[in-house]
Chains A and B, each alone.
Chain A
Amino acid sequence: MVLSVPAAAVTLLVVWIYPSYALYFHIGETEKKCFIEEIPDETMVIGKYRTQLWDKQTGSFLPSTPGLGMHVEIKDPDTKIILSRQYGSDGRFTFTSHTPGEHQICLHSNSTKMALFAGGKLRVHLEIQVGEHTNNYPEIAAKDKLTELQLRVRQLLDQVEQIQKEQNYQRVSKEAIRGVVSSGCSGLRLTALLFVWQYREERFRMTSESTNQRVLWWSIAQTFILIVTGIWQMRHLKSFFEAKKLV
C-alpha cells in the first residue's frame, strides 16, 4: 500500500496530534484484566484505552477496528460497582473516588466479531492518570489566563495538595505537614520527614517478621511438647498400673 507525499504529511500531522497511549499489552477473548488504584478520596481518575485487532491477512495489527468493544467495570473499596459500561474500540472513562482505598478497574472485551477473533490476539493500549496528572495545564493557563510563573506555582500547589491528601489517607499528622510546608523549605524537609516514616515502617516490618518467626517456632515447640507429654503420661501410667498388679 502506498501514499502520496501530501497524504503522508497529513498522516504525520494526524499521528502527531493523535494521543499516544504508549504502553500496551495483549488480552485474550474472554480474559478479564484488572488494575488496582489505591487512592485517597475526592481524587479524579481518567483512563484511556485503544484497542487493535490482529489481522491474519496482513500479519499485523490493524490501526483501529470498528465493532470492537471493551466492557469497563470499576469497583470502589467496598466492592460496590461505581461504573459498568460498554465502550467502543477507543474509550475514555473517568471517575472521582468518594471513599479512600483500593479501587479496581477491570477490562474485558465484548467483541461482536467473534469470527475475527480466531487469531486470539487483541492489543490494548492503556493509560491511567490519577490526581494531579489529570490536570491539563495548557488548558488551565488558557482558561484562567495565567502567566508562566503563575502556572508553575499552580502546578506546585496541585502537587502539594496531592501529597497532603495522600498523607491524610495514611493517617499521619496533618499539623506536621502544614507546619513543614509553611516554613518555606519544601522539598528537602518533606523528604527528610519521609525518611523518618520509612525508618518507622522498616522497624515495623522487622518486628512483624520476628513475630512471625517466633509464632512459628513456638507452635512447633508446643506441638512437640504436647506429643511427648502425652506419650510419657501413657507409658508411666501403664507401668504404674502393671506394678500395682491392676492390669
Chain B
Amino acid sequence: IAVPLCPGGRCWWRWAFLLCGWVLGSELTFELPDNAKQCFYEDIIIGTKCTLEFQVVTGGHYDVDCRLEDPDGTTLYKEMKKQYDSFTFTAGKNGTYKFCFSNEFSTFTHKTVYFDFQVGDDPPLFPNENRVTALTQMESACVSIHEALKSVIDYQTHFRLREAQGRSRAEDLNTRVAFWSIGEALILLVVSISQVVLLRSFFSDKKTTMTRVGS
C-alpha cells in the first residue's frame, strides 16, 4: 500500500506530531518598525483551546493593530489601535492560524510588542506516566500550587511590561520637557532682544526728525 507524502500539496505528516497531545506556547517580545506588519503562523488541530495575549511595551502612543485569522481566512479577532488585550478561542478547524500585528498607521515610531500565544495544555511532567491511578492528596496539592504559581508568573510578566512601559513614558516626557525648556529659553531671549532693538529704533527715528527741523 502506497501513501502519498504530500497529496495535493498538503502534508499530512505535519499534523502527526501534534497528536502527541502537548504543544508548547510561545511568548515573544519583538520590534515592529514604522509602517511595518509582522505576522506569525501556527498549526493547530481542531478542538484545542488557545489564548492570544498582547501588550505594547514601548513606542509612540503605545498602540497596535492586531488581527487573528483561521485557516480559511475568516477573521476571528480584529482590533485597531489597542494597547493591551487577551483573546481566547477554541480551534474550529485543522490548519494554520495566522495573527498579525500592524504598525502601518504610524509614520515614524517603532514599537516593541509582547505577545503570548498559548496553545493547548502544558506538557505533562512525565511523558510516559500512566493515568490509571488517581493522584494522591500531596500530588494534587502540588498540581494546584503549580497552577497558582503559573498565574503568579503571568501577573509578574504583565507587571514587568507595565513597568517598562511606564519607564518609557517617563523618559519620553523627560525628553519632551527638556526640549521645550530649551525652546522656551530661546524664545525668551529672542523676544527680549527684539524688544530692546525696537525701543532703540523709536529713539533713533525721533533724533533724525529733530535734527531735520533744527537745520
Contact = CB atoms under 8 A, between A and B. Distances in A.
A joins B in a complex = yes
Contacts of A24: 40-42
B198 interface: yes
Interface residues of B, number: 75
Interface in B8-33: 9, 11, 13-14, 16-20, 23-24, 26-31
A187 B159 contact: no
A182 interface: no
Contacts of B187: 223, 226
Interface string A172-201: 000000000000001110110010011001
B29 A35 contact: yes
Contacts, number: 193
Nearest to B191: A230
Contacts of B38: 25
A153 B196 CA distance: 80
A152 B142 contact: yes
Given A186-B148, A190-B152, A20 B18 contact: yes
Interface of B: 1-6, 9, 11, 13-14, 16-20, 23-24, 26-31, 38-43, 112, 117, 119, 125-127, 129, 136, 138-139, 142-153, 155-156, 159-160, 162-164, 166, 169-170, 173, 177, 180, 184, 187-188, 191, 195, 198-199, 202-203, 205-206
Interface stretch (A66-74, A86-94, A111-119, A158-166): A158-166
Contact of B202 (A1, A211, A247): A247
Contacts of B9: 58-60
If over half of A's interface residues share one DSSP class (helix, strand or loop), that class is named, otherwise mixed; here it is helix
Contacts of A58: 6, 9
Contacts of A59: 9
Given A2-B4, A36-B29, A156-B142, A208 B20 contact: no
A156 B144 CA distance: 10
Nearest to B165: A205
Contacts of A246: 202-203, 206
A22 B152 CA distance: 25
Contact of A208 (B27, B170, B203): B170
Contact of A153 (B1, B142, B153): B142
Given A2-B5, A191-B152, A159 B146 contact: yes
A127 B152 contact: no
A221 interface: no
Nearest to B199: A237
A205 B166 contact: yes
B146 to A, nearest CB: 6
Contacts of B155: 191, 194, 198
A148 B152 contact: no
Nearest to A238: B202
A217 interface: no
Nearest to B129: A148
Contact of B5 (A1, A149, A188, A205): A1
A81 to B, nearest CB: 17
A211 B198 CA distance: 38
B148 A187 contact: yes
A155 B156 contact: no
Interface string A204-247: 11001001100100010011001000100110011001000011
A205 B160 contact: no
Contacts of B2: 2-4
B166 A127 contact: no
Contacts of B202: 237-238, 241, 246-247
Given A20-B18, A37-B29, A205-B162, 15 more contacts: A1-B6, A3-B3, A3-B5, A4-B1, A4-B3, A8-B13, A35-B30, A36-B31, A149-B136, A149-B139, A156-B145, A163-B153, A194-B152, A212-B169, A247-B206
11 contacts: A2-B4, A4-B3, A20-B17, A22-B119, A36-B29, A127-B24, A151-B125, A163-B152, A186-B148, A187-B145, A191-B148
